């Protein structure tokens, strides 16, 4: 019989280390919001699950990065598959980074100036307004709905005790926000927040998430926030 192994989710000191290193890199810490199976059921059978969401802003730029750590322990008694091997006790984890940015008129002009500097012999008709964001090592682009999502490679894997190092997450955030023409405006004129809550893995978690997020702090650099399905008391 397989011996059950007690596994714990990422300790607070692990998340604190990411916050501290990101702040030292020059970013503004905005929030840490956690949702777990203590609040809402997980989307697949699990003994327990947790989503830890860190938010960082690039100072004086309308750029926001959400770093989400999704962890869960599979319930093999209810799952439709077996453990990978005898050392697989069901622990799964992966990071997702989401980039929110707004160009605006000032940002567009800076983008145009940068593009013309890089392409002195090109005509205006050849210009594309699409901004190419660099993808961090160890991540891949998975789509955009409210923000551009980048998932950690080999997600949902068995790797207890060897979580991605805090320095790797900080470096990935730096890569995502390194494009010089990305959001030159100092504040968001409009910010869509429907993608903030981890509703894809915790369906129906929006009221819990909304009640825990410090919306007043967000309003310091976002003039208009859209997509709140539940009015928070802290707005």
**Structural domains counted in the chain:** 2
Is 151 within a domain? no
The string of pLDDT tens digits covering residues 3-52 is 334 467 899 999 999 999 999 999 999 999 999 999 999 998 888 999 99
pLDDT at 235 over 50: no
pLDDT at 8: 78
Are residues 161 and 53 part of one domain? yes
Contact by Cβ (8 Å): 142, 150:
yes
Strand (E) or helix (H) holding 92: strand 91-101
Assigned domain for 207 exists:
yes
**184 within some domain:** yes
- 39 shares its domain with 100: yes
Q: Identify the helix (H) or strand (E) that includes residue 50.
A: strand 46-57
| Residues 101 and 125 grouped into a single domain | yes
Note every long-range contact of 125-133, with CB atoms under 8 Å and residues 24 or more positions apart, other chains counting. 131/103, 131/179, 131/181, 131/182, 132/179, 133/99, 133/176, 133/179, 133/182
pLDDT of amino acid 45: 83
Q: How far is Cα 85 from Cα 87, in angstroms, rounded to an integer?
A: 5
- Point out the least confidently predicted range of 1-5, 66-70, 113-117, 228-232: 1-5
CA distances from 145 to 92, 150, 193 (A): 24, 12, 10
Q: How confident is the model at residue 234 (pLDDT cuts 50, 70, 90)?
A: very low
The Cα–Cα gap between 199 and 195 comes to 8
Do residues 189 and 211 both lie within one domain? Answer: no
Task: Say yes or no: 189 and 103 in one domain.
Answer: yes
Residue 149, in any domain of the structure: no
Average pLDDT score over residue span 183-187: 74
Cα gap 209→188, rounded to integer Å: 21
pLDDT at position 109: 47
In a shared domain, residues 97 and 128? yes
Token pair for 30? 């905005």
105 with 210, same domain: the answer is no
Going by C-alpha positions, the residue among 63, 74, 96 that lies closest to residue 172 is 96
d(CA 5, CA 30): 35
Same domain, 110 and 132: yes
Residue 113 is predicted with a pLDDT of: 58
Confirm if 98 and 68 have CB atoms less than 8 A apart. yes
Q: What is the pTM of this model?
A: 0.82
Buried b (16+ CB within 10 A) or exposed e, 108-136: eebbeeebeeeeeeeeeeeeeeebebeeb
Asked if residue 95 belongs to a domain, the reply is: yes
Is 79 inside a domain boundary?
no
Residue range 134-179, pLDDT digits in tens? 889 999 988 766 578 899 987 556 555 578 899 999 999 999 998 7
DSSP 156: S
If one counts every other C-beta atom within 10 angstroms of the C-beta of residue 26, the result is: 11
Q: Are residues 221 and 182 in the same domain?
A: no
Range of the domain at 95: 27-74+88-136+156-195
- 106 and 215 co-located in one domain: no
Q: Are 190 and 219 part of one and the same domain? A: no
User: Coil, helix or strand for 190?
Assistant: coil
Q: Do 55 and 110 have their domain in common?
A: yes
């Amino acid at each position: 019989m397989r011996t059950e192994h007690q596994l714990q989710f990422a300790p607070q000191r692990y998340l604190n280390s990411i916050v501290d290193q990101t702040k030292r890199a020059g970013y503004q810490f905005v929030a840490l919001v956690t949702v777990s199976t203590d609040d809402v059921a997980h989307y697949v059978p699990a003994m327990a699950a947790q989503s830890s969401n860190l938010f960082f802003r690039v100072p004086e730029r309308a750029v926001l990065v959400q770093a989400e750590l999704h962890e869960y322990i599979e319930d093999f008694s209810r799952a439709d598959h077996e453990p990978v091997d005898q050392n697989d006790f069901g622990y799964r984890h992966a990071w997702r980074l989401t980039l929110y940015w707004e160009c605006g008129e000032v940002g567009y002009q800076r983008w145009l100036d940068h593009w013309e500097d890089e392409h002195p012999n090109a005509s205006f008709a050849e210009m594309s307004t699409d901004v190419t964001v660099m993808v961090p090592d160890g991540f891949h682009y998975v789509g955009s709905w409210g923000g551009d999502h980048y998932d950690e490679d080999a997600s949902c894997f068995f790797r207890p005790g060897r979580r991605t190092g805090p320095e790797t997450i900080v470096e990935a955030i730096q890569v995502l926000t390194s494009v010089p023409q990305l959001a030159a405006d100092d504040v968001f004129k409009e910010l869509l927040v429907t993608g903030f809550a981890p509703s894809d893995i915790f369906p129906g978690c929006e009221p819990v998430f909304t009640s825990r997020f410090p919306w007043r702090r967000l309003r310091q650099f976002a003039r208009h926030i859209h997509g709140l399905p539940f009015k928070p008391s802290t707005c």
